[in-house]
Chains A and B, each alone.
Chain A
Amino acid sequence: SQQGEEDPQALSIQEGENATMNCSYKTSINNLQWYRQNSGRGLVHLILIRSNEREKHSGRLRVTLDTSKKSSSLLITASRAADTASYFCATGGRLRDDKIIFGKGTRLHILP
């Protein structure tokens, strides 16, 4: 069963612009994580936000979490060509956070 669903499925923006991706989930969570994947390679962890947090920053990344709406957003500011990748959210359930559910991902393409 799919828990996280990213939106949009694909996004193309000009270099230097901001990119926003959204993730919706269905059940109560313990935490939510965002990962990046470059072209069929292994996933790289970007940021983890816990259910009692509303916002978190890491460099050019900003993640928000709204547990009342069961949604999260990932903002990448001042995008670069190297940000071209697929981005996934992953949730761990409140009762069983060891069972991880990934969304289908957003493909981000940064245009030069």
Chain B
Amino acid sequence: EAQVTQNPRYLITVTGKKLTVTCSQNMNHEYMSWYRQDPGLGLRQIYYSMNVEVTDKGDVPEGYKVSRKEKRNFPLILESPSPNQTSLYFCASSLRTSGGLNEQFFGPGTRLTVL
């Protein structure tokens, strides 16, 4: 089954404790992206990747890191989480053609609480 998986689905942590949220897709998509969703603000793009070893900042990259060592995986790293990073996080992937990006497939989300 074609899917995007994220782990963990729920996480409660404390300020400053490094954490990683994993994202994996099995559709051989070149494009992967991370978003955060906050009430009243919609989804905002954190980082995205056009292909292996190629990453770029979205609208809200501060406090986050990503890596793309393999095509299927795109982990999101919070080196020193703070309470303002409490949010619902989504990973997504997409096929890229000559006509541009196609539909994005989203993971189920990771609800993160930073105390």
Contact = CB atoms under 8 A, between A and B. Distances in A.
A95 to B, nearest CB: 11
B108 A42 contact: yes
B14 interface: no
B104 A99 contact: no
Give the secondary structure class of A's interface: strand
A5 B102 CA distance: 21
Question: 10 shortest A-B CB distances, which residue pairs?
Answer: A104-B42, A45-B103, A42-B106, A102-B43, A43-B106, A97-B100, A30-B100, A42-B108, A102-B42, A97-B101
Interface residues of B, number: 31
Interface centre among A43, A50, A100, A101 (most CB of B within 10 A): A100
Interface string A79-104: 00000000010101000011111111
B41 A45 contact: no
Given A30-B101, A45-B105, 15 more contacts: A35-B106, A40-B109, A42-B109, A43-B43, A44-B106, A45-B104, A90-B43, A98-B31, A99-B56, A99-B58, A100-B48, A102-B35, A102-B43, A104-B40, A104-B41
B78 interface: no
A88 to B, nearest CB: 7
Nearest to B106: A42
Nearest to A5: B42
B59 interface: yes
Contact of A100 (B88, B101, B105, B108): B101
How many chain A residues sit at the interface, stated as a range, is 20 to 34
Describe B's contact surface by its main secondary structure. Answer: strand
B85 interface: no
Contacts of A90: 43, 104
B74 interface: no
Contact of B99 (A45, A50, A101): A50
